Structure 1
């Protein structure tokens, strides 16, 4: 059985009386590809920010590879091997794709030539090889998503937190991106993804956690959680699960 790489234990965060995350606990095994899903406003991105150190938890503990990183700054977590992407992609528009990726590579490679070489290797992994010398401002939405992924991957993480890396893509682009994410996991990087695109979750994730109103309401295989009454109602409203059962639809 794989060892736990990331452990979140009883983590909570309140903003002005709103409980954004409430006593959430989960373990991410090393070498896994898992997903965190839930309706808009469920607290998923807040939980990622807590894990990665961009905001501090009010209570609870977070460990990476057995080391307590609760409240630790993001750059220190990056040195320990945690990287994350962001929903809103903000590349350095005037720089080339190669230079953008090299920013991440500089975490491990202090010489510019080494960082640029690492950037080129990562670009090929995510399908940006032909666009290395293009200004980032010239990339399509799909290209910018790949660039965001590449910048995080260039830090050579053990754990990669992907925050809606497929958002805004059309079905063809989603289909093209799914094997890229899978290849990263197959290459030895542990991946935890926030995702609304259920096609990707069903195709990629071994295990899924479901967050609703800041609380963890279900977990299991993608197939199991999509049949869970609490999950159905979190997405579609109270009473939906009963109506689906009456109509002969999916249920637990």
Structure 2
């Protein structure tokens, strides 16, 4: 059963067609990934899914409801929440207060939202830093906080936009079980990610976007061996040399 369905969605900015006739489905309870080179249109597609942009054509359905062009806060109330590539916490507020901002979607009283923030902080590894100003967090800490604020809305589907970007190898390793834990806790996850190690370790299914179009999909091991995907990432010349080297090795 699909929780999210994107059907023939397109969006242009002037003469630039950022997303072209994209269709995909996100099954309930899955952890899937959207990958592609820089400028492929991945974040634009996330914005179209979540309501921050309205598609020129096509339809977005979430949990059986047509949400095409529906405002982000209304989508969040339905259970569709996203994180952002550039993390911007409320620096002077504590970690607890930042997470409570997301929790207010489900909890009208401030005391309830602050209490809910504690459980979310524990899930993402920030419990010990609840009373620290958000501005004092490391890059890895701010990434966890961005995740926590989204998780505090109690989403059914969480769109993660490069939650591992800017982290060192150890920090990435530390974050992998946190992301797996989201799905174990009942949240469906679709992630944009450039860290292929994470994609290979986490994703059950991968969609590949290049120049606004889906060029491949499948299991991570299949997709990374796809000639079109290699070409999209490496360029025609490098991909051709790589194929020649592989043929000569055989």
TM-score, shorter chain, exceeding 0.5:
yes
| Structure 1 residue corresponding to 2:42, chosen from 38, 41, 44 | 44
Partners of 1:244 and 1:75 lie apart in 2 by 46
Partners of 1:138 and 1:175 lie apart in 2 by 22
Tell me how far 1:180 sits from its aligned partner.
Answer: 0.2
Structure 1: 5+ residue runs without aligned partners? Answer: none
Aligned equivalent of 1:176: 174
Tell me how far 1:143 sits from its aligned partner.
Answer: 0.2
Partners of 1:118 and 1:189 lie apart in 2 by 17
Aligned equivalent of 1:63: 61
Per-residue Cα deviation, 1:71-109 (whole angstroms, up to 9, x for no partner): 000000000001100000000011000000000000001
Alignment of 1:219-230 (within 5 A): 219-230=217-228
Structure 2: 5+ residue runs without aligned partners? Answer: none
Aligned equivalent of 1:149: 147
Tell me how far 1:60 sits from its aligned partner.
Answer: 0.1
Equivalent pairs counted in the alignment come to 247
Alignment of 1:1-252 (within 5 A): 3-248=1-246
**What is the TM-score normalised by the length of structure 1?**
0.97
Per-residue Cα deviation, 1:208-246 (whole angstroms, up to 9, x for no partner): 000000000000000000000000000001144443232
Q: CA RMSD in A?
A: 0.9
Runs of 4+ in 1 over 3 A off after TM superposition: 239-242
